[in-house]
Structure 1
Amino acid sequence: MKMAAALLTAGLALGAVAVPATSAGAATAMGTPTESIVRSSGIKLMNLVETTVEGKVGPIPALALASKPRLLRQPAGSAFFVYDPGLARVVPIWLSGDTAATSVADWKDVKFSALKPGQQLLEVRYGSPENPRRATVVASASRTDHRGGF
């Protein structure tokens, strides 16, 4: 059992279940489909897909949740939000056009800009944006080269 927990914590697949590697202190959603996709840009996506959102000047490249997370706990008032552990800040979620929000209630509304130069990791979390370290990580985008650029 300790080996299984170690493998899950490291973000490795164990049977049909994989859990994204996370920043310190964050829990992960067990059983959340987290198929890992490494893009040619060196970005690793776990439970995320590339998409676009319609902006005032045309489509904006974005990332979105690939599937509904299976959450073990759902505290009252919880929402989905995007967190940058390197900067310890919440990242805006695109709603429509050029309108953004800090958090959304529906997993289908999670859409955000991909990693920018210098960013190493972005995590989609479920919980309170006011206390992101206690929130559950349900998806992530990370650099595989750790150089910070493209």
Structure 2
Amino acid sequence: MTGFALPLALLANGLAAGVLMATVLGVVPFYKTLATPDYVRAHAFAVGRYDPFQPACLLVTFVADVLVAVTEPRLAGRVLCAAAALTAGSVVVVSLTRNVPMNRWVKAQDPDALPAGWDMETFRRTWAWWNRTRTWLAVLALVLNSSAAVALL
């Protein structure tokens, strides 16, 4: 099982971490240059592209890591993949409780008729902070999966 599930976890985890890192390195700095209506348009546009892909990658990562954690006979593999599964799961938790609700809110807005008193700077800063948090968690899961691969494969 390890020979199948661990490479699958590495692939899916690497894709998810890569998407998140690209957002931190390129998308968020770009967002900071935009006027409020343009920011809302750009954020809503990006959400529709990343959201179907990233959750699927994280789900595959989690399931593959759990499979290794419960079937691998070597302790190192069980521990590393269990930790990677928990860490990938924490990315999902941050996403579902923080970023996804904010993404849905932005996507539902009319960029030319935003609610009075909406503080775009605080919104943008808060979204970026939670995005960095889940990015570093995804990278940590990738480090754990890579460590498991080095130890087991």
Q: TM-score, normalised by structure 2?
A: 0.29
Q: Which has the higher helix share?
A: 2
Quick check: which has more Rg, 1 or 2?
2
The structure showing larger relative contact order (alpha-carbon pairs under 8 Å, at least 6 residues apart) is 2
Q: Which has the higher strand share?
A: 1
Q: TM-score, normalised by structure 1?
A: 0.29
